[in-house]
Chain A
Amino acid sequence: MGLFVAGLNHRTAPVAVREQLAVEEDKLRELIRDVHATGAAREAVLISTCNRVEVYAVADAPGEARAAVFRRLCQHRGLDHGLVESHVYTHVDEEAVRHAFRVASSLDSMMVGEPQILGQVKDAFALAQACETVGPTLHTLFSQAFAVAKKVRTETDIARHAVSVSFAAVELAKKIFSGLTGRAVLLVGAGKMSELAAKHLVDQGAFPVYVVNRTWARAQELARALSGTAVPFAELDVALGSVDIVVTSTGAPEPVIRRELVQRVMHGRRGRPLFFIDIAVPRDVDEAVGTLNDVYCYDIDDLKQVVDANLRERAREAQRAELLVEREVAKFSERLRDVEVIPTIVSLRERLESIRAAELRRALARVPDAPAEIREAMEALSSGIVNKIMHAPITKLRESGRAGMGRSWTTLVQELFGLGRTP
């Protein structure tokens, strides 16, 4: 079918090469128009992100088209074509379909399941559409790739679990408290990391936010940044009594929050759970605090452990996603082969139908007094003949498409019936 993808990504090329080849949007337009104008490729879509530069194209001579694209890309940056060539992979036909589906579904990404790539592919496709370099094949391919990506996202947990420490903390909080709306947060210490974790919690609806810090000015500053309230250090125990989530990140050499303190605080809480997120090293929360009832205490290593478990979960889900993609590729390859022969089938039908209609009109004009039955019989006769004649070539076209021989057969049929020329 002449479909191919050629490019390089974070696995095949070092950043030194990728950054050289990455193309900004304006230049992308120019390049894609150039490539299309040379006639080397009938259809083309160019994707350029920091992790990949790829061209998807349909061409009669894929090898030449591929070389033309990369010559043009290198020329634009004054790069040695031979140097780049060693990093370039090429996939054709079904392999190209698989690649497109995997890229859009984020299975080919550096961080599997990351959400940005789909948007980037969509942008690249829209740009190519605006440049009018998208034809029926790439249109079908990319529409389907977007559908597959959506399916992967909804039917697997590939992008479900947090892969950063601060998001892992938010997820944990959601396993203790069903929702974070209205859950009060206390920040002890004013580190950058705790600020980030607090921001994530607030984004999920946590409110209000209190800040305790040895330096009063810094506490006020951070409280302002998070639209919270600064609390004097001396009132730490009061604050502990009223909040649900505590994020600690002081520079103190000794634990700031000891078991006795938390035990006393828990008495007044009547069973409301308390969740400590201790990002400080050395730790701010005494290890023994975690043994208390209704107290959950995660230090930085615990959070990393959760992230690792999440990554393993993602990897498992990625395997399921690969199977899903595989099924979609098989389905799609069939369709794509049909796409190749369908325009010819349609024009064949139209051609024969127009001949039939014209001849019938002429015949009926010669017998203006013919009764209705005769007219109907003539109509039926002409349709019958045309359909019988069309049947064999159409079947053959469909078969050839499925067998991957669509192009030569469509050319043949077009020649035989004089299609593609205005009658």
Chain B
Amino acid sequence: MHASLINIAVTGYVLATGLALAYLVQRQDLVHRLAVLATLAGWAVHSVAIIARALELGAPPLGNLPDAISVTVWVIVLVEVLIERRTGVRVLGAFVLPIVVVLSLKATTPRAVTLAPALASAWIWIHIALALIGFAAFVFNFAGALMYVLQERQLKAKRPGTFYYRLPALDTLDRLTFRTLALGFPFLTTGLILGALWARTAWGSVLTFDPLASLSFIAWAIYAATLAGRAVAGLHGRRAAYFAVFGFSVLVLTLGAGFFLPGRHGS
């Protein structure tokens, strides 16, 4: 039941991605409307799937990586639609939805239904939830940065192309990148601190080696440096965008490590 619902939702997201990319190339209202429709349809089915999963587990569906990713994707899609609505940046879907699709492929992998025994404390749920909200914010941080780099390149090259016509203004994109960083960072920070504290109670040490945990500290350091640079050193624009892309690459590696390397986060 849950698996087939997830598959339907992912189909909706794949369709929405195709339409959003088509809209980027060929600005047509109808295509955009269909993309939003497919996104919302996928999201609605996804909501039901998550509820079904929670009922099946008798706990929040965050206890293992695929479930947690699934919830993150759900949050990202919701926020994507809301931002598009509020800011009128209608090409956002073309940059965020492909990431959604890649992530949700991981959300459909079969998984153990039993909970890991370590997941006993309420703190662990908060740790997971905060880290995932942070991650969702950084998806938008990355999308904003990517759009900034593309638009800036066109403006510098003085040859207007698809991106020049479709992407919003540089300062809009820089603001989007900054705000998502400012939003995501506290969540990531608190999530990591809770994780470390919890690791000490559960395993007796903050520094137990876990690939996901180690990489996420590197990502955190990159984002911390970017935020500090923005606040005091006038870091902005293209360089800040490069930092955002770098940070996100490490975050993706972090998730990859969680899936493919043996460690305590497990898959």
Chain A interfacial positions (CB closer than 8 Å to B):
155, 157, 161, 172, 174-178, 270-271, 273, 290, 293-294, 296, 298, 302, 305-306, 309-310, 313, 320
Nearest residue (CB) in A for B238 is: A293
B236 touches A296 (CB 8 A): no
Give the shortest distance, in Å, between A333 (CB) and chain B (any CB).
Answer: 23
With a cutoff of 8 Å between Cβ atoms, the chain B residues found around residue A293 in the complex are 237-238
A-B contact pairs, 25 of them (CB 8 A): A155-B29, A157-B165, A161-B165, A175-B155, A175-B164, A176-B170, A177-B169, A177-B170, A177-B171, A178-B169, A178-B172, A270-B234, A271-B235, A271-B236, A271-B237, A273-B170, A290-B156, A293-B237, A293-B238, A294-B237, A296-B156, A306-B158, A309-B161, A310-B160, A313-B165
CB of B168 closer than 8 Å to a CB of A = yes
B160-A306 in contact (CB<8A): yes
Contact A175 B151 (CB under 8 A): yes
Measured CB to CB, the nearest residue on chain A to B154 is: A175
Segment 221-249 of B: residues with Cβ below 8 Å from A:
234-238
B237 contact set on A, CB distance < 8 A: 271, 273, 293-294
Residue of A175, A298, A320 near B169 (CB, 8 A) is A175
Contact B171 A176 (CB under 8 A): yes
B171: A residues at CB distance < 8 A: 176-178, 273
Q: Let me know if B53 is at the binding interface, CB within 8 A.
A: no
- Whether B27 sits at the interface, judged by CB under 8 Å, is yes
B158 / chain A contacts, CB cutoff of 8 Å: 298, 302, 305-306
* In the assembled complex, B85 has its CB within 8 A of some CB on chain A: no
In the assembled complex, the Cα of A298 lies from the Cα of B27 at a distance in Å of: 26
Asked whether B86 is an interface residue with its Cβ less than 8 Å from the other chain, the reply is no
Chain A residues with CB below 8 A from B164, complex form: 175, 309
A279 to chain B: closest CB distance in Å? 15
Interface centre among A177, A178, A320 (most CB of B within 10 A): A178
- Which one of B29, B159, B172 lies within 8 Å of A309 (CB-CB)? B159
Binding site for A on B (CB under 8 A): 27-29, 151, 155-156, 158-161, 164-165, 168-172, 234-238
Q: How far is the CA of A176 from the CA of B158 in the complex (A)?
A: 12
**B160→A309 contact, CB < 8 A:** yes
Nearest Cβ in chain B — how far from A334, in angstroms? 23
Which residue of B has the minimal Cβ distance to A275?
B155
Chain A residue numbers with a CB within 8 Å of B234 are: 270-271
The answer to whether B27 and A157 have CB atoms under 8 Å apart is yes
When the two chains form their complex, are residues A175 and B236 in contact, meaning their CB atoms are under 8 A apart? no
Closest to A173 in B: B169
Kindly identify which residue among A172, A178, A309, A310 contacts B155, using a CB–CB cutoff of 8 Å: A172
Kindly state the separation between the CA atoms of A310 and B160 in the bound complex, as whole angstroms: 8
A303 to chain B minimum Cβ distance, whole angstroms, is: 9
B170 touches A175 (CB 8 A): yes
Minimum Cβ distance to chain B for residue A278 (Å):
12
Chain B residue contacts of A161, Cβ below 8 A: 165
A313 to B27, CA, bound (A): 11
B159 touches A176 (CB 8 A): no
- Residues of B near A320 (CB, < 8 A) are 28
Distance in Å from the Cβ of A265 to the closest Cβ of chain B? Answer: 14
**Cβ–Cβ < 8 Å partners of B161 in chain A:** 309
Instruction: Write out the residue numbers on chain B whose beta carbons fall within 8 Å of the beta carbon of A175.
Output: 151, 155, 164, 169-170
- A320, closest chain B residue (CB): B28
CB distance from A53 to the nearest CB of B (A): 36
Distance, CA A177 to CA B170, complexed state (A)? 6
Identify the 6 closest CB pairs spanning chains A and B, nearest first: A178-B169, A271-B236, A309-B160, A178-B172, A302-B158, A270-B234
Bound complex: CA A178 to CA B234 (Å)? 20
Which single residue of chain B is at the shortest CB-CB distance from A317?
Answer: B27
A161-B165, A296-B156 provided; 19 other pairs, C-beta below 8 A? A155-B28, A157-B27, A157-B165, A176-B169, A177-B169, A178-B171, A270-B234, A271-B236, A273-B171, A290-B156, A293-B237, A294-B237, A298-B158, A302-B158, A306-B158, A309-B159, A309-B160, A309-B164, A320-B28
Q: A155-B29, A270-B234, A271-B237 are in contact. Are A178 and B168 (CB under 8 A)?
A: yes
Q: How far is the CA of A290 from the CA of B170 in the complex (A)?
A: 16
Cβ B27 vs Cβ A176 within 8 A: no
Closest to A154 in B: B29
Residues of A near B238 (CB, < 8 A) are 293
Determine the residue in chain B with the shortest Cβ distance to A179: B169
Q: Which residues of B contact A155 (CB under 8 A)?
A: 28-29
| Central interface residue in A161, A175, A178, A270, by most chain B CB within 10 Å | A175
CB distance from A76 to the nearest CB of B (A): 46
* Alpha-carbon gap, A271 to B160, bound state (A): 23
Given contacts A157-B27, A271-B237, A306-B160, contact A296 B172 (CB under 8 A): no
Kindly provide the distance from the CB of B93 to the nearest chain A CB, expressed in whole angstroms. 19
Q: In the complex, what residues of B have CB within 8 A of residue A174's CB?
A: 169
Please give, as numbers and ranges, the residues of chain B lying within 8 Å of A305 by CB-CB distance. 158-160
A176, B168: Cβ atoms closer than 8 Å: no
Q: How far is the CB of A192 from chain B (nearest CB, A)?
A: 24
Residues of chain A within 8 A of B236, CB atoms compared: 271
Q: What is the chain B residue whose CB lies nearest that of A312?
A: B160
Q: Bound complex: CA of A161 vs CA of B160, how far in Å?
A: 11
Chain A residues with CB under 8 Å of B172's CB are 178
**In the docked arrangement, what's the CA distance between A176 and B171, Å?**
6
For B151, what are the chain A residues with a Cβ–Cβ distance below 8 Å? 175
B169 and A296: CB pair below 8 A? no
A296 to B236, CA, bound (A): 16
- Nearest Cβ in chain A — how far from B175, in angstroms? 8
